[in-house]
Structure 1
Amino acid sequence: MSRYLFALGQFVARRRWWVLTVWIVLLVGAIGFAVGTGGKTNDDFTVPGTESQDAVSLLQQRMPAFSGAQMQVVFATPGMTKVTDQQAAGEIEQAMAAFKGLPQVAAVVDPFQAKAVSPNQHAALGSVQFTVSAGEVSQDTLDKVNNIAGSARDAGLDVEFSGGVYPGFTAEIPHTPEILGIIAAFVILLVTFGAVVAAGLPIVTALVGVGIGVGGIMGVAAFVDVPSAATSLALMLGLSCGIDYALFILSRHRHHIVLGMPAAESIPLAVGTAGSSVVFAAVTVIIALCGLAVAGIPFLTVMGLTAAGAVLVAMLVALTLLPALLSFAGGLVAKFISPPLNPGKAEEVARIAAYEPERTCGHAWGRFVTRFRIPLLVLGVAILAVLAVPATRMELGLPSGATQPDSSTAHKAYNVISGSFGEGFNGPLLVVTDLSHANSADAVQTLIGRLQQEPDVAVVQPAGTDNGLMLIQVIPKTGPDDSATADLVNRLRDDRDSIVSGTGATYLVGGTTAANIDTSKKLGEALPVFLAVVVGLALVLLTIAFRTVLVPLTSIVGFILSVFAALGAQVAVFQWGWGASLLHVTKGETLSFLPIITLAIIFGLSSDYQIFVVSRIKEEHTRTEDAVTSVQNGVAHSARVVTAAALIMFGVFVAFATVDNPIVKPLAFTLAVGVLLDAFIVRLTLVPAIMALVGNRMWYHPRWFGRYVPDLDIEGAELERRLTHDVEAEAQQTVTAES
C-alpha cells in the first residue's frame, strides 16, 4: 500500500495546480448541487417491521387523511382567568376554527367538544391532524399556525405546541459549534507545530472536505429522507477527521523537512508512510458507519452512510489536496513563529523531536509507562470500569417534550399538559381498529370498555372513523418516556385476542409514542449484533494491518472499555442528572440510537489512534527488535501528534455539545468523553503498558499467517528501506562512473 501512496504523493505534488482546480470545482459543484436541488432534512422516522409502522401503512391505505402528523395545541390562562370564561373560550374556538381552514389540515379537535379541559379550568388541550407527514408539512402552513397562535396570545392566552410537528419543531442548529471547533483546532495546531502555515493547512483542507460532504448530503436530501442529525454528525466527523488525517501526514512531512529533506522528496514519503495509516483508519471508520445498516432502520442507515461519505471525502482530501498545498507551501511549514516571551522555542522543540526524540515529553511518558506498567494497567482499567458502571442502568428512548430545551414550546407544552391533565396526555396511543368484520353494532363500545379497564389507562376515546376503520385514542396514566407506558403498549398487543374477543374487530397499536417504543426496542435488539460485527471487523482489519493477533485483542478490549465508560458518563449526566445544571441538560432517557452510533464512531476513532501509535512502535521494533525500547521510541514519535489529534476531536465535539438540541448535545458529549478516554488512557497508556509487559511475543504470528496474509506495510518500513536502497545504489553507480 505504501508504494502506491508514495506514487500518488509524487503525482499530486507534481500536478498541484490540476489537483487544486479539481477540488475547487468539486466544492463549487457540491454547493451548487445543494442550492439547486433545494434539499432539506426531515425527521420522519420510519421503522419497517414494527406494529406502529404497520398501523401507519394501514391508515395510508384506508384513511389517508389521518395518516399524517398530529399537533397538540395547549391553551392556558394566567392568574384567576379560566379557559371557560367567555372571552378566553371565544378566542380558543376562533383559533381552532382558523386551524381547520389551513392547507394540509385533515381535522381539528376542539378542546370543548372533546371535553379536554383541565379540572381547574386553567388549561385546554386541542389537536390538529395533518394529511401529510411531519417533514411534508409546508413552512407556509406552520407560519400561519404561528400567526393564529399569536393572535390568541395577544388576547392574553398562553399558547404552546407539541406533537410530531409544530412551529419551530426543526430548530436550526447554529454555526457557532463549527466556528468554536475551528478556533480550538487552530490554537492546538499552532501550539503543536509552532508555525502558522502548518497550523492553517489542516483547517483549510478540512473545511473543503466538509463543504463538499455537507453540500452533497443536502443535495441528496432532495431525493431521500435525511434526518437533521445526519448533517450535524457529518459536520462533526468531517471536520474532526479531516483535521486529524491532515495532521498525521503533515506531522510526518514536517519531521522530514526539519531533518533537512527537500520538500519534493518529503511529500510523497509522508503520504506513503503516514498516508497508509490514514487510509486504514478512514476505511475502518467508514465500514463501521456503514455497518449501522445492521439495525434495519432507514434513518439510522442514512445517518451512517452520510457520515461515512463525509469521512471518505476527508480521507481523499488529506491524500491529494493536502500534498498539493504542501507542494505550494514548500519550506513555509517549518517557518516557526517566535513568541516574544520565549523566542526560538517552537523551532527548538521541533528540532529536539527530530534529532533527539529521547529528550521529548513523549519519550518521558513512554519511559514512565514502561516502568510502571502494571500499576498503570490496574489503575487505568479500574477508572474505565468505574465510569462504565452507570451504563448498566441505561434506559433507551427518543426525544420528547420533556427533554427539549426549557425555552422551547414543546417543553413548555409538556409541563402544562403534565400539570393540568397528567403526563400520559403528552403521549397518546393510537389504536387503529379494523371494523370490516365486526359482528355487532356495539363492537366499538365493547372494545373501548375493555381498553378502559386495562391497567395504567387514563382515558379512552374515539378519534375518527372512515372506510371501515375506527381510530381510538388511548391516554396512558404515565408519560411517553415511562417504562410503564412501554409495558402498556406491549400488554395491549399481547392481550389483543382477549380484548377483541367476540367483537370481530382487530386493531394495531400505533402513534408517535408507540413508534418511539418500537424504535428503542429494535435498536436495543440490534446493539449486540452490531457490537459483534464491529468486534469481528476490528479483529480482522487490525490482524491484517499488524500481522499479529495480540495487538488486535488489546485494541478491542480497550475499545470496549472506553466506549462503555463514555456511555456510562452519558447516563450519569443525561439520565441521572449529575451536573445537569452545569451543562444545561434536561434529564431524560438515553437516545435509543446513541449507543449504536457511539459504538461505530468510537470504534473508528480508536482504530485511528491505535494504528498511528502502534505503527510507530512496530516501526521502531523492526529497527531495534527490543520491546521496551520500541515502545518508548514509538510513543515519543506519536504522543505529540495523537495528543493534538485527540484534543482537536475533543474540542470539536465539545463545541457541538453546547447546542441545545436533544439529539446533538448528548451525542457530542458522549463522543467527546469517549475520544478523551480512548486516546489518553487506552492508546497512550494501557496499550503501551501491555506491549511492554508482553514483550516481543506481542508480534508473534503463525508461519501460515505470514504465507497467506499480505503485508500491507502500513508503517512504511518497507518503503523507506526500498528508498534507502535506491539512494545507495544510485550513489554507488555515481562513484563507479567517476572512477
Structure 2
Amino acid sequence: MALWLYRLGRLSARRAWLVIAAWAVIMGMVGGAAALFMGPMSNNFQIPGTETQQMADKLQAQLPEASGGTGAVVFTSTNGEPLTPAQQKDITAALETVTGVPTVKGVIDPFLVTAQQQAGAAQLADGAKQLAAGEAQAAAELPKLEAAAKQLADTKAQLDAGQAKLDAQKKQLAAQQAQLAALPADSPQAQAAAPQMAAAQAQIDGAQTQLDAGKAQWQAGQDQYAAGKAKFDAGAATLTAKKAELGLGQRTAEAASGIRFVSENGKAAIGQIQFSESMNAVTPANRQLVQDKLNTLESDGVSVSYSKEIVEDVSELFGVSEVVGIAVAAAVLLIMLGTFVAAGLPLLMAVVGVGIGVGGTMALTTVIEMSSISPMLALMLGLAVGIDYSLFIVNRHRQQLLAGMELRESIAKATGTSGNAVTFAGLTVVIALAALSVTGLPFLAILGLAAAATVAVSVLIALTLTPALLSLIGKRLISKKAWARNTAATAKHEATLVGLSGSERAAADEAADVARSARGWGGLVTRHPIISLVTAVIALAVIAIPAAGLRLALPDGGSEPVNSSAYQAYSITGKNFGEGMNGPIIVVGSLPAGLNEASATVLNLNVADQLRAVENVKAAIPVMVSKDLRTAVYQVIPTEGPASESTVQVIHDLRAEGPGIESRYDVPIGLTGQTAANVDVSEKLGAALPPYLAIVVGLSLILLVLVFRSILVPLLATAGFLLSLVAAFGGVVAVYQWGWLGGIFDVANPAAVLSFLPIILIGVLFGLAMDYQVFIASGMREAYAHGQDAKQAVRTGFKHAAPVVTAAAIIMISVFSGFIFSHLTMVRPLGFALAFGVLIDAFVVRMTIVPAAMHLLGKSAWWLPKWLDRVLPDVDVEGAKLATLMVEDDASSLSEDPEPAR
C-alpha cells in the first residue's frame, strides 16, 4: 500500500495541472447538479413499518384532509395585558389573509372557535332549561292523565256492570215472555200478564237507552284521553330525544373542555395554520409568506410567535458560528505551519472535499427524502477530516523538505507514509458511517452514506490534489524565517558531529532523538505509566457518571434558542395552556360497519372517554370522521410536553389500552403524529445501538489488526474508544439533559438528548478515534520496525506524532465546536458531543492512556500469532519499504521494481 501511494503521490506531483483540472471539472459538475436538482429537506424522522407510519399512511388514504401539516401561531399583547376586542378583530382579519398563501388549506381562528364554544355552551344551557321545563310540564300532566284514565276505567266498570245487570233482566224477561207465549191468548193469565210484560219491556228499553248514552259519553272521554295520551307520549319522546341530544352535546363539550385556544386570562391565543401538504414539503418561501402576513399585527400591539414547524428552515447549512470554528482552525494551521500558503492548503482541500461531498448529497434531495442533518453531518465531518488528512501529508512533507529531501521525492514519500495512515484512518471512518445503513432506519442510512461519501472524497483529495498543489507551491510552503532557523540548527548540529564516522553520526543522532523523546508530555506519561493510566481512567469514569441517566427523544420547541420565535411559542403555550398542548398525540380508530352519524358520534365519545381515562392524559376528543364513517381521528393532549418521560409513558399506556378498547367497542386504534413518531424513532434507535456497535467495532478491529499486525494494540484502541464514548455521553447528559453550564451553551430548557445522537456519535467518534490511533500508533510501529526498543519506540513515535495530532485535534474540536451554536438546534448537541468526545479521546485516551499502556506492555504490545502473521497481507502502514527505495531525481518510475504491496 505504501509503495502504491508513493507512486500515486509522485504521479500527482508530476501531473499537477491535470489533477487540478480533473477535480475542478468534478466540482463544477457536482455544483451544477446541486443547483439544478436540489430539493427540500426535512426533519421528519419516520421509520417504515412502525405503527405511526402505518397510521399516517391510513389517514393519507382514507382521510386525506387530516394528513396535511399543521403549524401553530401564538398571539400575545406586547404590554402583557389581555388582548383587546380590537386586537382580536385584527388577528382574525390577519389569519384570514393567510388562507391566500399557497398550500395553506385553512386556519383555525382562536376567537371564532372560542365564540363557537361559548355559543354552543349557551345553547346547551338553554336546551337544558327547555328540557327541564318540558319535563316539569310532563310531570304535571302525567297525574291528570293517570286520574282521567282511572276515572274512565271506573266508569267503564260501572257501565259494564249495568250492562251485565240489564242483560240478566233481559234474559229473565225473555223467559217470562216465552212462558206467556205458550198460554192461549185469551186465557185470563195471558191477558193479566200482558200489561206487566209490556211495562217491564219498556223499563228495560229505557234502561238500555240510558246505558248506551253513558257508553257514548265514556267513548267520547276515552277518545279525548287517547288523544291527550298520544300527545303526551309524543312530547315524552321529543323530550327523550332532546335529552339524548343534550347529553351528547354535553359529553362533546366536556371532552373538548381540556382544549382551549384562548387562555383563561385572555392574554394569549393560539391559532393554527393547516397546510395541504406535509410540513416537510412546505417551501421556506411559503413559510416566510405566512410570517409576513401575520407580522403586520406587531403594529397593533400584538406579539406573534411561531411554532418550530413554521419557522424552521433547513435549507441553510452554514451560519456565523460555523464560520468562527473554521477561523479558529485556520489560526491553528497558521501557528503550526507558519505561512498563509501552508495554512490555506488544508483549508482549501477541506472546502473542495465538502463542496463535492455535500454538493453531491444536495443534488440527490429531489429523489431521496433527506433529513437536514445529513448534509450538516457531511459538512461537519468533511471540514474536520479534510483539514486533518491534508495536514498530516503537508506536515510530513514540510519536515522532509527541512531535512533536505528533494521536492517531488518528499511529496511522494509523504503520500506513501502519512498518506497510508490517512487511507486507513479514513477507511475506519467510512466503515463506521456506512455501517449506519444496517440499522434498518432509512433516514439514518442516508445520513451515514452521505457522510461516508464525503469522507471518502476527502481522502481521495488528500492523496491526489494535495500532492499536486504541493508540487506547484514548491518551497514557498515554508517561510524564510523557518528556513533560516532550520539552516542555523543544521549547522549547529553538524558542528557537533565533526570528526565522527558515519556509524558514530547515526548513533549520535539516535541518542539525541532518544533524549528529545524523553522530554515533554510523552516522556512524563511513560516515566509514570501506572499513575498516568489509573488517573486518566478514573477521571473518565467520573465524567461518564451522568451517562447512566441518558434519556432519548427528538427535539421540540423547548430546545430552541431562548430568543427564538419557536421557543417563545413553546413556552407561552406551556405557561397558558399546559405543556401538553405543545405535543398532541393523534389516535386513529377503525369504526365498525353499519353505523349512522348518531351512533358513530356516541361510539367516538365512548372511545374518547376511555382514552381520557389513561393516566397523565389531560384531554381526549374526537376531531374528525371519514365520510364513510369507518375511520375516526382523536386528539389526545398529555399533561406534560412531548419530550417528557410522562408523555413517553402515555404513548405506551395508550397502546396498552388499545386491546381493551377493541374488545369493548370493536374499534381497533393506532397512534400517529409527531409525538408518537418521536417515541418510536427513539426506541428503534435504542434497539439498533448494540448490533451497530458490534458491527462497527468488529470490522474496525479486523482493520486495525491488519494495519498494526498486533492483537493488543487494536484491543487497547477499542477499549480507549469505549471510555471516550461513555465520557462524551456523560458530558452531553450533564449539559443538555441536566442543564449544567446551560448559560454558556445556550441550553435554556434541558430535556432528553437527541435520540439519534448516540448512534451517530458511536460511528463518528469511533472513526475519528481510530484516526488518532493510527497516526500515533503508526509512528510507534514505524520506530519499532526500524529497530528501536519497544518501550523507546513508544516515546519516539509519540514525540513525532504528538504535535501534528495535537494540532489536528484542536482543528477538529474547533470545527465541531462551531456547530454547538448552529441555527439548527438538533445539530447543537451533536456538535458538542463530537467536540467533547474528540477532546477526551485525543488528549486523554490517545495521548495519555495509549502511550502509558503501550509502555507497560512493551514488546508484547506488538505480539501476533505466527499463523495469523502468515495469513495477514502486509499493508506496510509505517512505510518500511520506502526506507530503502532509491529514486532518481527526474525518473518517472522506481529504479528497481519493488515487490507489490500485498
- The verdict on a shared fold, with TM-score over 0.5 as the criterion, is yes
Contact 1:52 1:515 in 2 (8 A): yes
Contact 1:357 1:637 in 2 (8 A): no
SS in 1 for 2:623: strand
* Amino-acid identity (%): 41
The residue number in structure 1 matching 2:413 is 269
The residue number in structure 1 matching 2:77 is 77
The residue number in structure 2 matching 1:689 is 852
C-alpha separation in 2, matches of 1:264 and 1:464: 74
Correspondences of 1:293-692 after superposition (within 5 Å): 293-337=437-481, 344=485, 357-358=513-514, 360=516, 363-437=519-593, 440-441=599-600, 442-467=602-627, 468-586=630-748, 587-692=750-855
Contact 1:193 1:350 in 2 (8 A): no
Deviations 1:545-588 (A, max 9, x none): 11111001100000000111111111111111111112222322
User: Shift in Å at residue 35 of structure 1?
Assistant: 1.4
C-alpha separation in 2, matches of 1:303 and 1:565: 24
The code of the aligned residue for 1:412 comes to Q
Cα 1:652/1:508, change in 2 over 3 Å: same
User: Shift in Å at residue 279 of structure 1?
Assistant: 0.6
Contact 1:196 1:336 in 2 (8 A): no
C-alpha separation in 2, matches of 1:561 and 1:672: 15
Cα 1:349/1:570, change in 2 over 3 Å: farther
Deviates more, 1:487-496 or 1:91-100: 91-100
C-alpha separation in 2, matches of 1:139 and 1:220: 19
The residue number in structure 2 matching 1:192 is 336
1:203 to 312, 324, 347: 347
Please state if 1:123 is matched with 2:294. no
Deviations 1:232-281 (A, max 9, x none): 22122111101111111122212221121101211111111111111101
Contact 1:202 1:247 in 2 (8 A): yes
Cα 1:269/1:169, change in 2 over 3 Å: closer
Please state if 1:16 is matched with 2:16. yes
SS in 2 for 1:43: coil
Contact 1:109 1:126 in 2 (8 A): yes
Cα 1:302/1:41, change in 2 over 3 Å: same
Deviations 1:401-433 (A, max 9, x none): 111111221111111111111101110011112
Contact 1:177 1:659 in 2 (8 A): yes
Correspondences of 1:26-65 after superposition (within 5 Å): 26-65=26-65
The residue number in structure 1 matching 2:105 is 106
Deviates more, 1:526-535 or 1:282-291: 526-535
User: Shift in Å at residue 71 of structure 1?
Assistant: 0.9
User: Shift in Å at residue 458 of structure 1?
Assistant: 0.8
Contact 1:336 1:347 in 2 (8 A): no
The residue number in structure 1 matching 2:433 is 289
The code of the aligned residue for 2:529 comes to R
User: Shift in Å at residue 642 of structure 1?
Assistant: 0.7
The code of the aligned residue for 1:576 comes to W
The residue number in structure 1 matching 2:874 is 711
Correspondences of 1:132-171 after superposition (within 5 Å): 132-162=277-307, 165-170=309-314
Contact 1:66 1:130 in 2 (8 A): no
User: Shift in Å at residue 95 of structure 1?
Assistant: 3.4
C-alpha separation in 1, matches of 2:681 and 2:108: 28
C-alpha separation in 2, matches of 1:119 and 1:501: 39
User: Shift in Å at residue 169 of structure 1?
Assistant: 4.5
C-alpha separation in 1, matches of 2:491 and 2:61: 69
The code of the aligned residue for 1:448 comes to A
The residue number in structure 2 matching 1:737 is none
Deviations 1:43-79 (A, max 9, x none): 2322222211111111111122321211122222355
Q: What are structure 1's unaligned runs of at least 5 residues?
A: 734-739
C-alpha separation in 2, matches of 1:618 and 1:166: 55
For normalisation by structure 2, the TM-score amounts to: 0.77
SS in 1 for 2:665: coil
C-alpha separation in 1, matches of 2:525 and 2:730: 26
Count of aligned residue pairs for this structure pair: 725
Cα 1:363/1:17, change in 2 over 3 Å: farther
User: Shift in Å at residue 624 of structure 1?
Assistant: 2.3
Larger Rg: 2
C-alpha separation in 2, matches of 1:171 and 1:458: 36
SS in 2 for 1:657: coil
User: Shift in Å at residue 732 of structure 1?
Assistant: 13
SS in 1 for 2:670: strand
SS in 1 for 2:44: coil
Deviates more, 1:330-339 or 1:628-637: 330-339
Contact 1:464 1:472 in 2 (8 A): yes
User: Shift in Å at residue 178 of structure 1?
Assistant: 4.2
Contact 1:145 1:167 in 2 (8 A): no
Contact 1:397 1:517 in 2 (8 A): yes
User: Shift in Å at residue 625 of structure 1?
Assistant: 4.5
For normalisation by structure 1, the TM-score amounts to: 0.93
The residue number in structure 1 matching 2:133 is none
Contact 2:820 2:832 in 1 (8 A): yes
Cα 1:359/1:64, change in 2 over 3 Å: farther
Deviates more, 1:114-123 or 1:61-70: 114-123
Deviates more, 1:565-574 or 1:129-138: 129-138
Q: What are structure 2's unaligned runs of at least 5 residues?
A: 118-259, 494-508, 897-902
User: Shift in Å at residue 168 of structure 1?
Assistant: 4.3
The code of the aligned residue for 1:94 comes to A
Deviates more, 1:402-411 or 1:27-36: 27-36
User: Shift in Å at residue 142 of structure 1?
Assistant: 2.1
Deviations 1:192-230 (A, max 9, x none): 233443222212222211222222222122321222222
Deviations 1:358-392 (A, max 9, x none): 46578533222211000000001011111111111
Deviations 1:94-140 (A, max 9, x none): 33433345432334333242652222222222323222111211344
C-alpha separation in 2, matches of 1:65 and 1:348: 79
The code of the aligned residue for 1:136 comes to A
The residue number in structure 2 matching 1:254 is 398
SS in 2 for 1:495: helix
Contact 2:529 2:853 in 1 (8 A): yes
The residue number in structure 2 matching 1:736 is none
The residue number in structure 2 matching 1:87 is 86
C-alpha separation in 1, matches of 2:490 and 2:348: 25
The code of the aligned residue for 1:540 comes to I
User: Shift in Å at residue 347 of structure 1?
Assistant: 8.0
